[in-house]
Amino acid sequence: MSFAEQMYSKIDVDGDGSISKKEWADFFRAFDKDGNNQIDLNEFSTGMATAFGANGDQAKKAFDKIDTDKSGELTVDEIADFFKVLDKDGSGDVSKAEFLAVWGTVF
């Protein structure tokens, strides 16, 4: 199983074959250790290592893909906007194929 497939499986908490907006938001909310509604690279790297065993390079690649304004912090809006990038068909859920189409190129 690829790293991207492992990510998908863990984020799809209910195992129904799609990632809902709630699953996506809950997943990232757990990374925000200081509760400021932003995730810095350290929080993200720690969360990725804990959730997936990701190394620093993998975490940085993922962080940079979501941090579209390059501020060094992931905002609630960036995380929500990235969900829309993943949801290619606009269904409101992210299928495994949609997820892998984006993340498969990163990892």
Give the pLDDT confidence of 41-77 residue by residue, as tens digits: 999 999 999 988 888 898 999 899 999 999 999 999 9
Domain boundaries, the chain: 3-103
For residue 39, pLDDT over 80 is answered with yes
Rounded CA separation 32/10 (Å):
18
3 state SS for the chain:
CCHHHHHHHHHCCCCCCEEEHHHHHHHHHCCCCCCCCEEEHHHHHHHHHHHHCCCHHHHHHHHHHHCCCCCCEEEHHHHHHHHHHHCCCCCCEEEHHHHHHHHCCCC
Which one-letter amino acid corresponds to residue 12?
A: D
CB atoms within 10 A of CB 79: 21
Rounded CA separation 35/92 (Å):
26
CATH top-level class for 3-103?
mainly alpha
pLDDT band at 107 (very low <50, low <70, confident <90, very high): low
Q: Which pTM does this prediction carry?
A: 0.86
What is the percent of the chain where pLDDT is above 90? Answer: 77
- Which residues sit opposite 20 in a β-bridge? 93
